[in-house]
Every structure is written in structure tokens, then in C-alpha cells.
Amino acid sequence: MQVIYGINPVLEILRSERGDARKIIIATGTSPNYLNIPGEKEFKGKGISYCATCDAKYYGDKEVVVIGGGNSAVEEAEFITKFASKVTMVHQFDKFQANKQAQEKLLANPRVQVLFRHEPRSFVRHGDKMIVTVENLENGRLMELTTDGIFIFVGLKPNIDLFGGTLSLDNRGYLKTDEDMRTNLPDVYAVGDVRSKKYRQITTAIADGTIAAINITRELDN
């Protein structure tokens, strides 16, 4: 069995004369959506983060800005409050899109401040601080927020570009599989965050991999 992590297009591997791969597991995961505004690329990993579980611990008793308003942004912001002394949410709409229970929990947290109808326009570093310029979408006024760190949660996208449209996708662009992790192509499986499913966690990715490995092993043994 050979596991491929985005090295070559799937069909080329399956159809290669060498026949290197009898079965393929796709585990290319997802990537965060970017805002594509000045300073984001320059300060990624240097004041800007896309992973609360990775980096929130570095902001103990500090202030952070969280950009976004969906389930991920709201839930991750709540997690960040376990460390940060203040969390300022910046969201383009007049209300969150997260589930109601998560919203209520976040809004009841005294460490959270929310700027609805605002969008970030740029990021710069000044000494050990980050400065976020945000625009009030109701009147066009710009305002600067000085903070210790920035977290961006504006969605994820599956890493499927290298497959060239050969695999079946759901309406959000994730790979469709059956309960055994098989895709629409024979001998090609997909596991983890790149797969169409309800929950994306380490534990569910491990479960996907286990199911695929068991089925592949059984097929190869026959």
C-alpha cells in the first residue's frame, strides 16, 4: 500500500507503467481562506494565526483580534478567551452566522468585544504589537486596533486542485466517499479533512484512515 499526500495527480499514478500504486489514499486536508489584504502574507506566523489550538496559549493575559463570524470563528474565539485577557471580534455582517448556542456563550463572555459591520483593511507591526486597520461598513470610516495578535477564521477550502476534476465533489468542494472511504474512482480512497463529512477533527481523521486501511488490506489480501 502507498499513501499519497499531494505528490502526483491520482490518475497518472494509477495508470503509470511502473504500477507503483495498487491503491491510493488521498489525505491532502484543507487550507485556510485568506483575506488577501496588505500585511497578511508578511505577518503570517509572525502575529497572524489561523489556528487557535496551536497558538492561543502564547497570548496569556494579552489582547487579540479575531476576524470572522461563522462557527469556527465564534468557537475558536471562545477557546482563546481561556488565555487572552481580551478578544475583539471583527465581523462584516450585523450578526454572527454561527449556531445560536455558540453565539450566546461568546456574547455572554466579559472578555469579548464585537465590532459588527466592520472589515479589516490592512495589518502592520509596530514593535511587539500588531495594528489592524478596520473599516466601518456603515459610514466608511477607518479605525486602528492595536493588539498583541490576530486570528483569522474565514473558512477553509479542501486541497483538491491537483486532481483536475477527476473526483466527485459535494456542493462545497469536498471529496465524496462511501462509508468505506472509497471515492468514485476505483482503488482511490479519501480520508481526513478533505473528505465530505460533518465533523473535521483529529479523531475523525484517524477513524477515516483506519477504515480505509482495513478495507484496503482486505482487498489486497484477496
Catalytic-role residue among 51, 94, 170, 180: 51
* 178 assigned to active site: no
* 54 assigned to active site: yes
Greatest Cα pair distance in the chain: 68
Q: Rounded to whole angstroms, what are the CA distances from 14 to 2, 25, 27, 29, 175? A: 11, 12, 16, 21, 18
* 55 assigned to active site: yes
Estimate the share of the chain in helix, then strand, then coil, as percent rounded to the nearest 5.
Answer: 25, 30, 45
Own/partner pairs, 172-177, CB within 8 angstroms, 24+ separation: 172/196, 175/26
Q: H/E element holding 78? A: helix 71-80
Catalytic-role residue among 54, 61, 128, 221: 54
Residues belonging to the active site: 51, 54-55
